[in-house]
Amino acid sequence: MVNFSVFNELSLPLSDIREFEHFFELLTSLRKLGLEKIRMDREFIHYPEVLPSITFQQLIGQITDRNKKRRLLSFLKNSISVIESPLILDNEEESEQLLENEYFYNARATIGGLACSDIWNTIAISFNSKEEWNKESITLEKHSILDTQEKSISIQHSSKVEHLEKHKDFFDNLEEERRLDIRQENLWKRREEFFPNKIVFCKEIEKQIKQIDKIIFEQTIGILRDVESAKKLITDYNYSGESKSVKEDESLKKLRYFTLGNDKVFFENHIKSLPNANRIYFLEQDDKIFIGYIGKHLPTKKH
C-alpha cells in the first residue's frame, strides 16, 4: 500500500476561502491515520485559480488575518503535509496504466487525481467546494484500450473529516501493513507469516530480495500484499506475457525458468508496474500465485 493520498484538482476553484480550513483539518486527520503525504499534478502554488479570478499569490496578499496567512504559507511549505508532484513520477511505470486505460468522470476524460486514486488504490481528497465532492466515494467510467472493456468503478474519496469514517477498512489495512513491518531482512524467514494464503515465493527469491533497491522492494511488497489480502487481483496490475522471440530462443527462455517444488517451470507472465523497468514474474496455479523473479528486466532479443 502507498503512504499518500491524491488530490482531486477538479475541486478547484473554491467558492469560499473558509474551505481551506476544512481541507487542513482533513490533511491533519489523514496524517494521523498514516497517509503522511499528498500527491498533486503540480505544485499547489501553480494552480491557475484557487478562487475564481484569483491566483494563489493574489490570495495570500489579500489575507489580513495573520493566523490564516501563516496556515496557508505552512501548507505551501509542506509543514502540514508533505506534497509530492506530479501524480506519477517519471520512474514509476504506473504511467503505463494511464496509457492503457481511459478514465471518465461525468462523461469527461480525466487523467488527474481521480484516475490516480484507482491506479494507486488510495484515497482521493478534494476541497468541499461543491456538493458533488461532499461524498465518501466517486464513480468513474474506466475503459481499457487494449481489450475495449469498460466498467464503472467506485473510488475512495473524502472532502471532510467525517468521510474518513467510511474508510475504516482501508485505514485498518494500512495500520496492519505498518504493524507487519516487512523488510528485506525478514521477508524470507517470515514469508509464510506475511503471506499465508495466496502468495508463494520460489527459492530464487531469497537471493533476489537482498539485491534489489529498497524502493523496488517496498513497492513490490505493496503489490503482493494487496493481492494476498484480496484487495486486488494479480491481473489488475499492468502485466504481459513474453514475446514470441523470447519463447522461441532457448537461451532467453531458460532465464525465465524458476523452481516450483522439485521442478524448474517456465514463468511467462510478468508485472510491469514497478519503476526503472523492474519486473515481477508470476505463475498462477492451484489457487496460488508463485513468484519466481523480482528484479531488473530480463534480457530479450532487443535488450
Q: Does the residue 302 lie in any domain?
A: no
Rounded CA separation 124/6 (Å): 5
pTM higher than 0.75, yes or no? no
What pLDDT sits at residue 79? 59
What pLDDT sits at residue 155? 94
* Highest-pLDDT range among 92-101, 167-176, 193-202: 193-202
Residue whose C-alpha is closest to residue 242's, from 259, 257, 261, 228: 257
| Residue 215 structural domain | 181-296
User: How many domains does the chain fold into?
Assistant: 2
Q: Does the residue 56 lie in any domain?
A: yes
Using pLDDT thresholds of 50, 70 and 90, give the confidence band for residue 161: very high
Mean pLDDT of the chain: 87
Q: Does the residue 301 lie in any domain?
A: no
Residue 202's contacts (CB-CB under 8 Å, 6 or more residues apart) are: 258, 259, 260, 290, 291, 292, 293
The three three-digit cell numbers of residue 46, written as one number: 501553480
The CA–CA distances, whole Å, from 140 to 49, 101, 118, 166 equal 25, 12, 9, 19
Q: Are 300 and 246 in contact (CB under 8 A)?
A: yes
Residue type at 223 in one-letter notation: I
277 and 197 belong to one structural domain: yes
The three three-digit cell numbers of residue 74, written as one number: 505552512
Strands 239-240 and 270-271: antiparallel
Rounded CA separation 238/254 (Å): 24
147 and 239 belong to one structural domain: no
| pLDDT, tens digit, 9 for 90 and up, residues 119-131 | 888 999 999 999 9
Query: Given 173, 195, 224, which residue is the final one in a domain?
Result: 173
